Amino acid sequence: MAGLEDASPWQILKKLRIIGGGWAGLSAAISAVQRGWQVRIQEAAPSLGGRARRIQHTGLHLDNGQHILIGAYTKTLQLLKLIGVKEQQVLMRLPLHIITPQGFQFKALNWPSPLHVLTAIATAKQWSIQDKFSLFKTCVDWQIKQFKCDPSLTVQQICKTLSPSVYQSMIEPLCIAALNTPASQASASVFLRVLQDAFLSGTHGSDFLLPRVDLSELFVIPAQKWLIQHGAVIECHQPVESIKSSQHNDEINILACPPWEAARLTQHMHPHWSLTTSQLQFEAIATVYTHSKSFSLSHPFLALPIHHPTQAQFVFDQGRISQHPNKKGLWSWVVSASQGDRDAITQSVLHQARDLGFSDLDVITTVVEKRASFSCKPGISRPPSHVGQGLWACGDYIDGPYPSTLEGAVLSGQQVIDQIGQI
Ligand X SMILES: Cc1cc2nc3c(=O)[nH]c(=O)nc-3n(C[C@H](O)[C@H](O)[C@H](O)COP(=O)(O)OP(=O)(O)OC[C@H]3O[C@@H](n4cnc5c(N)ncnc54)[C@H](O)[C@@H]3O)c2cc1C
By the criterion CB under 6 A, which residues form the site for ligand X? 19-25, 42-45, 50-52, 65, 67-68, 239-240, 256-258, 261, 285, 287, 369, 372-373, 395-396, 404-409
Nearer to ligand X, 169 or 373 (CB): 373
Provide the minimum distance between the beta carbon of 14 and ligand X in the complex, in angstroms, as a whole number: 20
For the chain, what is the largest distance between any 2 Cα atoms, rounded to a whole number of angstroms? Answer: 67
Nearer to ligand X, 135 or 337 (CB): 337
Nearer to ligand X, 120 or 220 (CB): 220
Nearer to ligand X, 33 or 240 (CB): 240
Nearer to ligand X, 20 or 319 (CB): 20
Provide the minimum distance between the beta carbon of 135 and ligand X in the complex, in angstroms, as a whole number: 24
Provide the minimum distance between the beta carbon of 258 and ligand X in the complex, in angstroms, as a whole number: 4
Provide the minimum distance between the beta carbon of 80 and ligand X in the complex, in angstroms, as a whole number: 13
Provide the minimum distance between the beta carbon of 107 and ligand X in the complex, in angstroms, as a whole number: 21
Distance, in Å, from the CA atom of 99 to the CA atom of 107, rounded to the nearest integer, reads 8
Provide the minimum distance between the beta carbon of 187 and ligand X in the complex, in angstroms, as a whole number: 16
Nearer to ligand X, 55 or 153 (CB): 55
Nearer to ligand X, 63 or 131 (CB): 63
* Closest listed residue to residue 410, CA positions, set 421, 396, 422: 396
Provide the minimum distance between the beta carbon of 35 and ligand X in the complex, in angstroms, as a whole number: 20
Provide the minimum distance between the beta carbon of 404 and ligand X in the complex, in angstroms, as a whole number: 4
Nearer to ligand X, 29 or 124 (CB): 29
